[in-house]
């Protein structure tokens, strides 16, 4: 049903909120038997790409040249084949595949996988496969109501981090963050209020947010269930790195 032209989606210079009612599915050259919802790409001024692949029957995601690729299964089952082995991944399963590493992701019909890619800089990562449940988990700034699961180890060999953050109802970031890192964020569960720049938005599971470098940001969880999101940030890289691809 249409909403008479109304939506929560917003596209601003330093942030972008994309809600499921505005998702447009597109084919990608590296994808067959499925479609992608592209959430973020350098055309909006960010330094990474993020998209959700929705697999149909016989779905396959093949390598994209020159990018380190992170995969996180949102629903269903997908099988990743690499030179170091085959891995079956279900909800919460993730993988890091370094640039130009031969691999193939086969998704079962109905599987949904979050994909985050960044052009590879100097150095070489290694294939990492894991599950969110087994990832190290720690409270943020000592708050047991706000837990951060760190999916990629410090020595992953890439210049980004991907974490999940889980807020108990009523929990919030302890401060308004303003930092050089940008974020790609996918709401996985629950909801709350996100401050982005000078705007406050109601957000819920399914929404995507891009936050540019130095975009003031704060989140408070609302409702009766925990709120959880998957969050990307450029990390462990010199602040001058990558400036040539920014607007």
Q: Which residues bind ligand UGY (CB under 6 A)?
A: 165, 173, 177, 183, 217, 219, 231, 233
Complex with ligand UGY: residue 41 or 148, whichever CB lies closer? 148
Complex with ligand UGY: residue 135 or 165, whichever CB lies closer? 165
Phi, psi of 196 (to 5 degrees): -130, 115
Minimum separation from the CB atom of position 51 to Mn ion (A):
21
**Cβ neighbourhood burial of 185 (10 Å; 0-12, 13-18, 19+):** buried
Residue 175 and residue 19: Cα distance in Å, rounded?
25
Site for Mn ion contains 14 (CB under 5 A)? no
Minimum separation from the CB atom of position 242 to Mn ion (A):
18
175-204 residues in contact with Mn ion (CB under 5 A) are 177
What x/- string results for residues 151 through 180 when contact with Mn ion is judged by CB under 5 A?
Answer: --------------------------x---
Of all residues in this chain, which one has the CB nearest to Mn ion in the complex? 177
Minimum separation from the CB atom of position 210 to ligand UGY (A):
11
Residue 43 and residue 36: Cα distance in Å, rounded?
17
Minimum separation from the CB atom of position 131 to Mn ion (A):
24
The count of residues in the chain is 247
3-state secondary structure 24-93: CEECCCCEEEEEEEEEECHHHCCCCEEEEEEEEEEEEECCCCCEEEEEEEEECCEEEEECCEEEEECCCE
Minimum separation from the CB atom of position 178 to ligand UGY (A):
10
Note the residues at the interface with Mn ion (CB under 5 A).
177
């Amino acid at each position: 049903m249409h909403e008479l032209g109304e939506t929560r989606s917003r596209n601003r210079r330093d942030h972008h909120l994309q809600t499921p009612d505005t998702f447009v599915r597109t084919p990608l050259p590296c994808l067959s038997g499925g479609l992608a919802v592209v959430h973020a790409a350098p055309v909006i001024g960010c330094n990474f790409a993020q998209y959700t692949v929705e697999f149909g029957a016989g779905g396959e995601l093949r390598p994209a040249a020159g990018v380190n690729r992170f995969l996180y299964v949102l629903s269903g089952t997908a099988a990743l084949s690499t030179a170091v082995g085959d891995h079956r991944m279900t909800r919460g399963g993730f993988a890091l595949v370094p640039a130009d590493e031969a691999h193939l992701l086969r998704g079962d019909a109905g599987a949904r996988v979050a994909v985050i890619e960044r052009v590879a800089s100097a150095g070489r990562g290694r294939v990492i496969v894991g599950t969110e449940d087994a990832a190290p988990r720690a409270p943020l700034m000592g708050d047991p109501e706000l837990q951060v699961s760190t999916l990629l180890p410090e020595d992953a060999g890439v210049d980004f981090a991907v974490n999940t953050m889980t807020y108990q109802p009523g929990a919030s970031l302890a401060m308004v963050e303003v930092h050089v890192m940008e974020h790609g964020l996918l709401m996985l569960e629950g909801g709350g209020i996100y401050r982005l720049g000078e705007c406050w938005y109601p957000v819920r599971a399914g929404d995507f947010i891009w936050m540019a470098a130095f975009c003031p940001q704060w989140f408070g969880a609302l409702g009766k269930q925990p709120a959880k999101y998957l969050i990307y940030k450029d990390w462990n890289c010199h602040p001058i790195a990558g400036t040539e691809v920014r607007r």
